[in-house]
Amino acid sequence: MARPEQRLAANTPGPFYVDRTCIDCGTCWQFDPAHFAPTGRTSHVWAQPQGEGETRAALMALQACPVAAIGTSRELLARSPADGFPAPVCSLPAGAVHYGGWASRKSFGASSWLITRRHADGRPNNVLIDSPRWSGALARRIGALGGLQRILLSHRDDVADHDTWARHFGAERWIHTADADAAPEAEHRFEGTEAITLDDDLLVLPVPGHTAGSVAVLFAGQVLFSGDHLWWGEDPPGVVASRRYCWWDWWEQVRSVERLLDLDVRWLLPGHGRWHRFAPGEWRRELEATLARLVEEPGGEP
């Protein structure tokens, strides 16, 4: 529970605040950039919400915070939405994509994503990519959307409460064999570095580098769930692959970036960092620019 006496000085005066327990995971400003922003080593409220819609967004950011570092008044807290997450991101003929919210400290606030879709006979065929923290409120909402049939884990860092989610919904879990010790109970393994077709609209792309068993998931040929392999950055704007946050093999990660050049991604939905929407054809240009920056940076030649 956030404490007003630990409120950070950087907060704009008003009912919402971030306190000293912030771990700078980025969840709040990725979800609600209209009110939250990074400060350096923490985040802060840079603009207080005005009106019903903005207050709802700030209350959802408060729910999503993995360490309860966001506080507000008792009156506003009582208005926290029970139906906020999963929050819609985009809707395609093959299914809808939602942001899971309810981030977990166990995965340093990583984002989780839900695809809701159906088999031809009408049965739900939903997929969770990475795990939010366990939340009864979120489980009720996912249940109303058809539950979970599969959980795909992008890599070892973002498994969080996968076991509780899998047990609750009877979902089958997948993780790459190279990261499988992080979720040894997972029912299925991805192997090797070749693309794996799980369904017509669901392609798993092994992208070793950040960890040995990192995978990205491509939905409907245009939504890329990238785990911690790639995200969108602001300074400069563009796709980021981070050497600083590479835990296994940097040049293997760069080769894994190159293997994604031929996609035409329209939505980049990462574990950490900003989400981004691309115009047709923009993905390749951005990724080529990213690869050029990686080679130019100090120590950039393999």
Residue carrying the six token digits 């739900």: 124
Q: Residue 132 phi/psi, 5° resolution? A: -75, 175
Cα(36)–Cα(296) distance, integer angstroms: 32
Closest separation between CB of residue 19 and ligand SF4, Å?
8
Closer CB to ligand SF4, 235 or 296, in the complex: 235
Closest separation between CB of residue 78 and ligand SF4, Å?
20
Determine the interface stretch with ligand SF4 among 50-58, 62-70, 72-80, 292-300 (rule: CB under 6 A).
62-70
Handedness of CA 151, 160, 54, 225 (dihedral sign): negative
User: Which residue of 11, 28, 155, 241 would you call a contact of ligand SF4, by CB under 6 A?
Assistant: 28
For residue 8, state whether it binds ligand SF4 (rule: CB under 6 A). no
Closer CB to ligand SF4, 13 or 281, in the complex: 13
User: Which residue of 23, 34, 89, 212 would you call a contact of ligand SF4, by CB under 6 A?
Assistant: 23
SS3 129: strand
Closest separation between CB of residue 116 and ligand SF4, Å?
25
Determine the interface stretch with ligand SF4 among 20-28, 121-129, 145-153, 202-210 (rule: CB under 6 A).
20-28
Assign 3-state DSSP to the chain and report helix, strand, coil percentages, each to 5: 25, 25, 50
Q: Residue 280 phi/psi, 5° resolution? A: -55, 135
User: Which residue of 11, 16, 18, 186 would you call a contact of ligand SF4, by CB under 6 A?
Assistant: 18
Closest separation between CB of residue 273 and ligand SF4, Å?
12
For residue 171, state whether it binds ligand SF4 (rule: CB under 6 A). no
Closer CB to ligand SF4, 242 or 290, in the complex: 242
In order of 11, 40, 117, 124, 238, the CA distances from 137 in angstroms are 29, 32, 21, 20, 35
For residue 249, state whether it binds ligand SF4 (rule: CB under 6 A). no
For residue 101, state whether it binds ligand SF4 (rule: CB under 6 A). no
Residue 188 · residue 262 · CB < 8 Å: no
Q: Residue 292 phi/psi, 5° resolution? A: -65, -40
For residue 220, state whether it binds ligand SF4 (rule: CB under 6 A). no
Closest separation between CB of residue 112 and ligand SF4, Å?
14
Cβ count near 83 (within 10 Å): 10
Cα(283)–Cα(75) distance, integer angstroms: 44
For residue 97, state whether it binds ligand SF4 (rule: CB under 6 A). no
Closest separation between CB of residue 76 and ligand SF4, Å?
16
User: Which residue of 26, 100, 208, 227 would you call a contact of ligand SF4, by CB under 6 A?
Assistant: 26
Amino acid at 146: G
Closest separation between CB of residue 213 and ligand SF4, Å?
26
Cα(246)–Cα(236) distance, integer angstroms: 19
DSSP state of 41: S
Q: How many residues does the chain have?
A: 302
Cα(59)–Cα(24) distance, integer angstroms: 18
Residues 264, 265, 266, 272, Cα dihedral to 10°: -160
Closest separation between CB of residue 11 and ligand SF4, Å?
10
Residues 32-61 close enough to bind ligand SF4 by CB under 6 A: 43
Contact positions vs ligand SF4 (CB under 6 A):
18, 22-28, 43, 65, 67, 69-70, 109
